[in-house]
A and B are shown apart, each in its own frame.
Chain A
């Protein structure tokens, strides 16, 4: 009995080990021939609907023209995965991320390699990229990323609902926005929101502090490089504006409205289905609406701005996808060739722009004849080119600072902060401490 069980255990163990080995060998690379193409892996953030398909198609085109490489595209990547992969030494050949917040970490730690020598070798000058993307792909002079199409943000409004409410043009100032939102809101019998005119809750869809603060022209950092959240009056002004509108709706009512199945990157998104009359969104929404709800009667306009700063109207917040090469990559030359192609050649940028409706990130591709004109999308091209458009700072604390700021305003909008000014000053101190700690210090400077 015991011999049999022992033998059985050994057999099971052996077969399992064999199965693992077999499984692994099935997944291992092709037999090593001299002429085998180099395998490259590209990680990208796109995953929703049409977006990953568009990117894969562009990469496939490059793949066909370059038989010496075969490229595998993996979508749905976020920064956590990139960080984990770099740290465990299993990073792919090319990585891209949807936002620039971690550039400080990537460049500062060398997690993404310095691209400057590669650019110099191929005579690529950073000035071919517009100023905002040029800024958010480097940190303290070290350029470890290049921009791969940019995003900017503006106002989407439902023309049918506007007509029904008698509103003739999209709001230009924030007070107009609040007034229009109230006019457009429809509630049901129990007071719950059926159609929301506008949802200003931080954390909903694309509502984040860095995108909003553009409308007030408020600064993130003062001249010394410390946080200006406690000192620049724009922050408090936005906070008060946002809270007054939220209080008009009732914070709980808005949360309940948001709890419906109106997920952002699905066809049931609230603006696309007419549940939300006006929405603050990125330029990519044009493509989503085109693919999912082409009959929607809507318009696009720049984001309304602070009544006291009418000169800011027409500008917006800019950020975008960045792409780079992780440390320790084996096929650096081929990886760089692909990165160079994607970021500097007009053709892929134009195709991606048409498919994703993102903004091309070189001066020449912006004017490329391949770009299919679109009335809705052209608003965003204008916002991108506006001199007052801006982006958020790249800090050593990476995405942690955006999380902290967002967390503070989420507590504020829920009514948990009693003294706004004291809270903002405290937040500024925390952000500075965060930066110091990220740099390897640890306390309040």
Chain B
């Protein structure tokens, strides 16, 4: 397109200029039409599946709505109940904050550590890489089910093995103190994706940087600190952002683990109190939102929860993105 314009400008006379402008306008219009055509799926998709729900969520959050009768305006009542009255709100917030603050650093460390081990491996790197990547392929529901079984306090393999070593294993998913650590363990098992990205980044670090550092007298730890870490800092940022986003949406594993574990311990049949089992320790914010919106009859109230979640997600990602330049070493062009 730019070529046509350039070709037209050379040696122009007045009527040619007019022709050129008209041609350019036609070209512009064609281009705009093309852009519209190409962008149309996203424009439609965004409006229907992001724009509309956001506006509607905001509206519903000021209403009492159970989808059986029409919405009834209640003003700030939902927010008041959410922030001041509901005893589960702050439990859910604390749990979500916990899982983000504990799981994300651990996952980044673990993925980076394994990647370093793999990068140094002389033989069988391909085999090991497959082994570490495989669990990440397991569907979350399947992986959670497997873990709940393995971590069964009475008959699960883990506690059986611990018993043979003379340790009485904890109650894992049956204990409010161990349920979240068990979930973190589950998350670490599925670290494959992040690990592969770290591996690629670590392998990408130019060898000459290490060599010059060594020449300067840097030991292995110093090489790690001053060469490796800065080079992989973009990946660290990526992993942290991804981890935080996932933490704010954490639902599936908590839901499945709680429902399986509570059924196992013979929860009184009819009351559906399973979510958050045991003792609300696995009650994360998205889980509570689901419970209020889709188990109880409170869609307006769930919308107010959603608005709060939106605010927090926005704030958190803003903080990370704005500070990314400070934390991430800009890659030196090669």
Contacts and interface: CB of A to CB of B under 8 A. Distances in A.
Contacts of B64: 437, 440, 442
Nearest to A206: B268
Contacts of B171: 252, 255-256, 259
B139 to A, nearest CB: 21
Given A203-B267, A442-B80, A444-B85, A105 B66 contact: yes
Contacts of B270: 45, 98-99, 101
Interface in A90-138: 98-99, 101, 105, 109-111
| 10 interchain residue pairs of minimum CB distance | A442-B77, A109-B68, A440-B64, A87-B67, A259-B153, A99-B270, A264-B266, A260-B154, A98-B270, A259-B154
A410 interface: yes
A201 to B, nearest CB: 9
B268 A437 contact: no
B168 interface: yes
Contact of B297 (A98, A203, A263, A438): A438
A258 B85 contact: no
Interface string B122-153: 00000000000000000000000000000011
A83 B297 contact: yes
Contacts of A206: 268-269
6 contacts: A109-B66, A256-B153, A259-B154, A261-B154, A263-B263, A443-B81
Interface stretch (A5-13, A26-34, A180-188, A397-405): A397-405
Nearest to A210: B271
Given A45-B270, A255-B175, A259-B171, 4 more contacts: A83-B297, A105-B66, A398-B296, A411-B279
Contacts of A49: none
Contacts of A204: 265-266, 268
Contacts of A398: 296-297
Interface string A201-221: 001111110000000000000
Nearest to A211: B268
A419 to B, nearest CB: 15
Contacts of A265: 269
Nearest to A441: B77
Interface residues of A, number: 56
A84 B68 CA distance: 10
A63 interface: no
Interface in A165-182: none
Interface string A253-295: 0011011111111000000000000000000000000000000
Given A79-B272, A327-B68, A259 B294 contact: no
Interface in B154-200: 154-155, 168, 171, 174-176
B269 A264 contact: yes
B11 interface: no
A35 interface: no
A256 B265 CA distance: 9
Contacts, number: 133
Interface residues of B, number: 45
A136 to B, nearest CB: 13
Interface of A: 45, 78-80, 83-84, 86-87, 98-99, 101, 105, 109-111, 190, 203-208, 252, 255-256, 258-265, 327, 397-400, 402-404, 406-407, 410-411, 414, 416, 430, 433, 437-438, 440-444
B295 interface: yes
Contacts of A252: 171
A293 B153 CA distance: 27
Interface string B253-271: 0000000000111111111
B264 A259 contact: yes
B77 A443 contact: yes
Contacts of A190: 168
B102 interface: no
B275 to A, nearest CB: 9
Contact of B266 (A84, A262, A403, A430): A262
Interface string B80-115: 110011010000000000000000000000000000
Given A399-B272, A441-B77, A86 B68 contact: yes
B314 to A, nearest CB: 25
Which one of A98, A260, A430 has the highest number of Cβ atoms from chain B below 10 Å of its Cβ?
Answer: A260
Which one of A78, A256, A263, A402 has the highest number of Cβ atoms from chain B below 10 Å of its Cβ?
Answer: A256
Given A87-B67, A258-B266, A105 B297 contact: yes
Nearest to B68: A109
B282 interface: no
A78 B272 contact: yes
B87 A430 contact: yes
Contact of B68 (A111, A403, A416): A111
B276 to A, nearest CB: 9
Contacts of B121: none
Nearest to B273: A403
A203 B268 contact: yes
Interface string B41-57: 00000000000000000
Interface in B25-78: 64, 66-69, 72, 74-78
A430 B89 CA distance: 13
A399 B271 contact: yes
Contact of B279 (A397, A402, A414, A442): A414
A302 B263 CA distance: 27
